Amino acid sequence: IEKFEKEAAELGKGSFKYAWVLDKLKAERERG
C-alpha cells in the first residue's frame, strides 16, 4: 500500500505540473 501511495503521489505531481504548463501556454496564446 505504501508503494501504491508513493506512485499515486508521483502521478499527482506529474499531472499537476502538466496542467500548470497547459495553463501557462493558454495564457501566452491569449495574450499573444
Give per-residue pLDDT as tens, 11-21: 888 888 888 99
Indicate whether this model's pTM tops 0.75.
no
When the pLDDT of each residue in the chain is averaged and rounded to a whole number, the result is: 88
Q: What is the pLDDT of residue 12?
A: 80
The CA-atom distances, in angstroms, between 2 and each of 6, 9, 14, 27 are 6, 11, 18, 37
**3-state DSSP helix/strand/coil percent for the chain, to nearest 5?**
95, 0, 5
pLDDT band at 25 (very low <50, low <70, confident <90, very high): very high
What's residue 32's pLDDT? Answer: 79
Residue 15: what pLDDT? 85
> In angstroms, what CA-CA distances link 3 with 7, 11, 12, 26?
6, 12, 14, 35
